[in-house]
Amino acid sequence: MTATVHDVAILSDFRYPGGTSASIAAEIRAQARAGLTTVLVHVRSPHLKQNRPFHPLLTELIKDGSAYLAAEGEEVTARLLVVRQPRIFTEDLRTVPPIRAGRAVMVLNQAPGDAGDPARYYDFAAVRQRVQGYFGAGIEWAPISPQVRAEVLRADPGATLTGADWHEIIDGSEWWTDRPGPVSAVPVIGRHGRPDPVKWPRTVPELLQAYPDTPGMRVRILGGGELAVEKLGRTPANWEIIEFGTREPAEFLRGIDFFVYFHDPDLIEAFGRTIMEAMAAGVPVVIGEHFRPLFGDAALYTTPEGVVPLVRALYADPGRYRAVALRAREFVEARFGYPSHVARLADRGVRPGAPPPPALAPPPPPPPGAVLLVSDNGVGLGHLSRLMAIGRRLPGDTPVVVATQSHGALVAHQEGFLTEYIPSRSVLGLARSGWAELLRSRLEYLIELHRPAVVAVDSVPHDGIVAAARAHRGITWVWVRRPMWRRDTGAEWIERRDAFDHVLEPGEFAAAADEGPTVEDRAGVRLVGPITYLDPDELAEPEDARQALGIEPGRPAALLQLGAGNINDIASPVARIARHLRDAGFQLVLAESAIATEPMPPVEGAHLVKLYPMSRYLRGFDLVVSASGYNSFHELIAFGIPAVFLPNRETALDDQVSRARFAAAAGAALIIEDPDGPDLDRVLARAVRADVREALSRRCAEVAPLNGAADAAGWLAAFIDRPEDAR
């Protein structure tokens, strides 16, 4: 499969609340406007400890298609890699993203330290060593301003830096408001930015000189005002404090007359994006002399003591006020406009493609008749695996597209599917309403792009899915709805069934024990056998499986397969299980999810494997201790593998307990009901006996149902040629 080659890959932590994310957003817009494609590669910064959402500017750009967010572990190919925020590399990355790029730039958008400590924020030499180890010694090191350049050279005089700064950019047309003079009846001084104590003057006298408690003047502060109030011990009567993030900066700037920014003298301000934004908005800027190398004659320079006289003089002279605003606007457009960014990309071989000749016909749209398979994110690969099981059995000439909210997008790609990744709500940190709109818009975009005849959804019907289905009634919409829901859960999802044309329900071995809401909602539902990704004849032979897994011959082997998120919750029982199996002479293999984003806690004596599909190697094991999620449960029963089920009792919908109890009652498996009590030792003492395991395998062979995936695929395929049967 040919890899997509993006023009620019941007690697950063997209949760930064301030200038880093705003800068990335501006570059994405500039690239999109120039016809260049952007892929975002998210890595977590060690100094952002809280669970933050993505910055809303970046979420919006992902939503509207201006940038593509790569799934974790997805191989990315780009002409240029741009890495932002050196503090990400103050510790080793847990996983290095697989990125291939023609050239790479490390943008130094923060100084290593401040006036008091040149390495307060990061050790430049250590960061350089890590970054070059990850992305190659040829990566360029580009400071964003003269201030950062000077601080890097102070930390490492021998550092090799780019000749030109990788300065910030802005689209002035989005910010500019023409004003003949001040907009308020009295001078309004303002500033905006993320809350940070060092972004304020150090002393109270300087703070009140720059932001005066003076009759006949007002002060408006968007972000961080509470820090200034804390320093003063009071809120001046003429101050208005606005919480960070509650108002758009462009809107805020339209309501002030002067942008005044002074900070702690130890702070090395990397660039001053908020200063540039004020200039672009037509607001005269009053700042310290140390910013002159960046902003030249476009700003007004003074000390905190000189703010009030300068503001009063300019306020009283509308002609000069307007001249200052116009001069700043011209400077920003010439120095920091989008064309400057496109030019530096071109210098690195990234140029917009030439437009097609006028006589050249546009490429034909893709042929209709595709099947679009849409999976939920979940915490594992269950939804996605069921859909791929169906997709790989559709007729060979059927275009199949997998769209998933799961990090398993990479798995689907590796299995040969054309794959689209839809970032989940949890990844982006969106509110429910914002997530619904994003999901709807992405589905509608994929429908327009791939022109499917059938959309099959293995997920609960989220608002965005329902909205997309109701807006595209010319397509056959199928809800692939797993049974065995927990009693008294999910009724609100069942009520949304009418958004779909059909419901396809994979079978359930433990159907007789199913007490969930789907049981009473089977009218008109297409039932098939339990769905597994593989058929029995696709499994590796025992010796081949053991060799692939690194299992020694001649000794029994056990697999611990405890489900996404389960092992962290039952660490103590897992240790007991492992000890019991080791004492019985078993080799241990611990299965890690193919999409795990956090390392699993170690289990003493266990060999960790991360393979997909793990079911291909099940015949290499003499015993499996497993959670009883739909997929793993039916694989173990269908393939006759002796199993002990340890149900995950914390799932939202899936009734793993009833499923495991039924298998135990049928004699096809064992169950540990109470992992914290003596039940665990009693069950495992039986499970390690060869005669018990042989009996479990024989019983599975007697009762194992056939794989329903081919039946489901044939039923879906019929709607491609007979769309009139959709309703």
What is the rounded distance in angstroms from the CA atom of residue 242 to the CA atom of residue 192? Answer: 9
Q: What angle do CA 508, 513, 519 make, to 5 degrees?
A: 70
- DSSP for 439-496, please give it: HHHHHHHHHHHH-EEEEEEES---HHHHHHHHH-TTSEEEEE----BPTT--HHHHGG
Give the pLDDT confidence score for residue 380 in this predicted structure: 66
The strand order across the sheet containing 76-84 reads: 68-69, 38-42, 5-12, 76-84, 99-108, 140-143
How confident is the model over 555-581, as pLDDT tens digits?
Answer: 999 999 886 544 445 556 888 899 999
What angle, 0 to 180 degrees and rounded to 10, lies between the N-to-C axes of helices 19-33 and 56-63? 20
Are the C-beta atoms of residues 510 and 663 closer than 8 Å to each other?
A: yes
531: left (phi over 0), alpha (psi -120 to 50) or beta: beta
Give the pLDDT confidence score for residue 571 in this predicted structure: 55
Give the pLDDT confidence score for residue 361 in this predicted structure: 44
What is the rounded distance in angstroms from the CA atom of residue 727 to the CA atom of residue 723? Answer: 8
- DSSP for 201-265, please give it: -SSHHHHHHHS---TT-EEEEESSHHHHHHHHTS--TTEEEE-TTSS-HHHHHTT-SEEEE---T
How many other CB atoms are found less than 10 A from the CB of residue 675?
A: 17
532: left (phi over 0), alpha (psi -120 to 50) or beta: beta
Are the C-beta atoms of residues 554 and 525 closer than 8 Å to each other?
A: no
**Kind plus residue range of the DSSP H or E element containing 84:** strand 76-84
- Hey, is 625 helix, strand or coil? strand
What is the rounded distance in angstroms from the CA atom of residue 495 to the CA atom of residue 515? Answer: 17
What is the rounded distance in angstroms from the CA atom of residue 37 to the CA atom of residue 17? Answer: 24
331: left (phi over 0), alpha (psi -120 to 50) or beta: alpha
Distances 561 to 509, 646, 666 between C-alpha atoms, Å: 19, 9, 22
The letter for the amino acid at 659 is R
What is the rounded distance in angstroms from the CA atom of residue 403 to the CA atom of residue 419? Answer: 6
Dihedral over alpha carbons 249, 226, 88, 154 (to 10 degrees): 100
Tokens for 225? 């005002």
Q: What sign has the CA pseudo-torsion 176, 179, 180, 182?
A: negative
CA-based nearest residue to 192, from 97, 281, 104: 281
Give the pLDDT confidence score for residue 378 in this predicted structure: 56
CA 464 to chain centre: 18
Average pLDDT of adjacent 10-residue blocks, the chain of 727 residues:
78 88 93 92 85 84 88 88 95 90 93 80 92 93 91 91 92 86 91 88 94 93 92 94 88 94 85 89 93 90 95 94 92 90 92 52 61 80 93 92 80 85 76 83 88 94 94 94 94 94 97 95 96 96 93 92 58 83 93 60 78 92 95 96 93 92 97 91 96 97 96 95 53
What is the rounded distance in angstroms from the CA atom of residue 303 to the CA atom of residue 582? Answer: 73
Give the pLDDT confidence score for residue 379 in this predicted structure: 55
Q: What sign has the CA pseudo-torsion 442, 446, 448, 451?
A: negative
Are the C-beta atoms of residues 375 and 405 closer than 8 Å to each other?
A: yes
